[in-house]
Every structure is written in C-alpha cells, then in structure tokens.
Amino acid sequence: MRLGPGLLVTAAFIGPGTITTASMAGANFGFTLLWTLLFSVIATMVLQGMAARLGLATGLGLAESLRKTLNSGWQKYLCMALVISAIGIGSAAYEAGNLTGAAMGIQALLGAQISTWSTLLTLIAGLLLFSGHYQVLEKSLIALVLLMSLVFITTMIIARPDIPALLSGLLIPSFPAGSVTTVLALIGTTIVPYNLFLHSSVLARQHKASTDMGETIRQSRWDTGLSIGLGGLITLAIVSTASAAFFGQLAGDINAAQMALQLEPLLGNLAHYFFAIGLFAAGLTSAITAPLAGAFAVCGMMGWSTDLASNKFKTVWAVILLCGAIGAALKLSPVALIIFAQAANGILLPIIAIYLLWLMNQKKVLAEHRNGWFSNLLAGLIILLLLGLSSYKLWSLV
C-alpha cells in the first residue's frame, strides 16, 4: 500500500480556516464538540471513498463523469453552471482566505508584512503548480502534511489533554449554548466539495484497464481512510491544545499568536516557531490544492484537458491563485472570505453529493464497482444530515 493521493485531501482541508475553527472550538467549548469532528471525518471518508472509486474505475474525474453522463441539455448546463461558479469562485475565496490567514498568523509570530508572506506563499504555490509534474506536487504536499502532523500532534502530547474528557467529547453528542455556529464551521472546514473533484481526478490518472481493479480499489480505500484519519487527528490535536491553553479562561476569537503565548509555559520560545511552521505548512498546502481542485472541476465540466501541463488547465488555476493573491493584497478579512466560501459550499455540497451518489449507482458507468446497499444507506444518511445542516447554515447567513 502506498500513501499518496488521499493525503492531498488532508492537505486541502487542513488550512488556516481549520486551524482557526478548531482553536476556537477547543478554547470556547473544550472537548464537547469533538463528536462533530468524528462525524465529519467519517462522512469525508465515505464521500471521498466513492469519488476515489469513480476515478479509478472509469478513468474520469467527477466533473468529466457528470458531463459525460448527464444527457439532458438543461440538467447538464445547470450542473455546469453550479460547478463552475461555486467550485471556481469558492476555490478563489478559499484561496484568499488561505493566503491571508496564513500570512496574518506568520506575521504575528515572526514579523514582516502580511503582503510579504502572502506573496511568498503565492510564488511557492505557483511554481509547484507550474511545474506540471504531478509527482513533484504530490511529494511536496505529503512532506508538508507530515510536517503539520509532527508539529500539531507533538504540541498536543506536550499539552497533556484530559483523556477521559476527550473520549467523552468524541462519543457523546452535545450542543452547549452558543455552539451551533462552531459545529457548522467544524463540519464545513472538513467536508469540502472541491475535494471530491480533486480526489477523483487525481486517481483517474492511475486508471489502467489491465490492472486488478478490485485490489487497486482496496488499496485506495486504505489510503483514503488513513489519510483522512490523519487529518482528523491533526484537527483533534489543535482542539486539544486550544482546550488545554484556553478553556475556562477565554471566550470569543483567538489567533495563533495568542495560542503560542499560552503554550510558552509548555514549549518555551519554541511555541512561536512551532506555530509558525504549522501555519506556513497549512497555508501552503491549501494554497496549492484549492487552485488545483478548481482547475480539475472547471476543465472537466468544460470538456478541456485536465492534464497539469495543459495551457487551459494552467490558466484556470492561475486565475484562482491570482484572485487569492489579490484578496490577500487588499487585506480583505479572511473570516469574511471563508464565510463567503462556506456559503457557496452550503449550497453545493449536498447537490454534488447527490450527483455523486447517483453516478455511483449507474451500471453503465461503474459496472460491478457501483455502490452496494450498505454504501447507499450510509451515503444517503450523510446527505440527509448535510442537507439539514446546509439549510440551517444558509438560513443563518441570510
């Protein structure tokens, strides 16, 4: 078994927004919202597992499969409009939030201007994407994810969380007063619709009709489960660390500089460097994967090549990266940008999940690799919950 494509999903959803949301969850509610994280991780595993199987079995990404399978003109054009607008615009909004949030956090710890850090992140992300070599991109992202894991999990171990309280929070659902917004934010930062396009498109590149498809899908299932589980562990570590540092002492918003200061009794001056490295890795991984996912979605729906070296593919990710860089340069609020992106996600995620579930039951698309009854039941329950949560989120935002 080779870990790789699944870690791209982890790289995508562990960004500055996740770090901020997880920190606020731990600071304001301790361990009581960890059950939300457990649900989000399981739901992500189920949905990403279906997207991965679709890519491997068909050799097509989710966007390409939708374009090919939707025969009705109005359905195809409606789906194209939804995907291109919400995924494209949503990726750009997340990109601005990634660059701005990471730049603000690193500036608070290490100094220099926000524009300096956001420009550095933009240049590094652009160079890696422009290389057009998937292996280089994958290895870079894996290294950054492992670096993030080391930073945040080590910090949690040093902080010595209350294990019984942690297990209670994971297994016993509760809604403390004022926690609904944080519950929605934790789910929204973990289950990200553009990851379905990213994962399926990356694995479609590995499709070979001559291989043992059953074994390939089993290996992918392990890769997906372990990678997303690692992402959940990183988020758990951040919640635990924030709980140890802040719970019972502070309410409201916190930032990385405050967290580093609170951890100085545990880590000494290393606290600053730990969080600077963690934020930089989180910001850079998300800054790479958001434009990549957006390019896969837009190019797939338009019928353009999804080869990383394709000029149209490069143009799409460059536009998304540029929009993010402009948003960071204008010093727009990362919170406002992330709220906008989550609003787009709130509309799109259940719709894309329904499309995905429909595709996974098409015999002409997947043949013997289509969903069984248990997969349909599990995915259906997750979609119903997401519909309810998304409706509540949109109502709150309106």
The band of 289, judged by pLDDT with boundaries at 50, 70 and 90, is: confident
Report the CATH number at residue 207. Answer: 1.10.4160.10
Residue 91 lies in a domain: yes
Q: pTM of the full predicted structure?
A: 0.87
pLDDT for 275 equals: 73
Give the Cα separation of 162 and 152 in Å (integer).
Answer: 17
Average pLDDT in the 96-116 region?
Answer: 76
pLDDT for 377 equals: 93
pLDDT for 2 equals: 59
The band of 150, judged by pLDDT with boundaries at 50, 70 and 90, is: confident
Q: Can you give the C-alpha Rg of the chain in angstroms? A: 20
pLDDT for 265 equals: 63
pLDDT for 6 equals: 83
Residue 99 lies in a domain: yes
Residue 164 lies in a domain: yes
- Listed range (27-41, 82-96, 258-272, 366-380) with the worst mean pLDDT: 258-272
The band of 84, judged by pLDDT with boundaries at 50, 70 and 90, is: confident
pLDDT for 192 equals: 84
How many independent structural domains does the chain possess? 1
Residue 353 lies in a domain: no
Residue 391 lies in a domain: no
Read off the pLDDT of residues 159-206 as tens digits, 9 standing for 90 and up: 788 888 889 988 988 888 877 778 877 887 888 888 899 899 888 877
Whole domain around residue 297: which residue ranges?
5-337
pLDDT for 261 equals: 64
Is pLDDT of 60 > 90? no
Average pLDDT in the 256-271 region?
Answer: 65
Looking at per-residue pLDDT, the higher value among 49 and 337 belongs to 49
pLDDT for 20 equals: 78
pLDDT for 381 equals: 93
Residue 395 lies in a domain: no
The band of 332, judged by pLDDT with boundaries at 50, 70 and 90, is: low
Read off the pLDDT of residues 30-56 as tens digits, 9 standing for 90 and up: 899 999 999 999 999 999 999 999 988
Give the Cα separation of 156 and 166 in Å (integer).
Answer: 12
Residue 130 lies in a domain: yes
pLDDT for 378 equals: 92
- Listed range (65-79, 100-114, 247-261) with the worst mean pLDDT: 247-261
Sole residue written with tokens 């990403």: 48
Read off the pLDDT of residues 204-253 as tens digits, 9 standing for 90 and up: 877 665 567 778 888 888 989 999 999 899 899 888 888 877 776 655 55
Is pLDDT of 363 > 70? yes
Residue 370 lies in a domain: no
What mean pLDDT is reported for the chain? 81
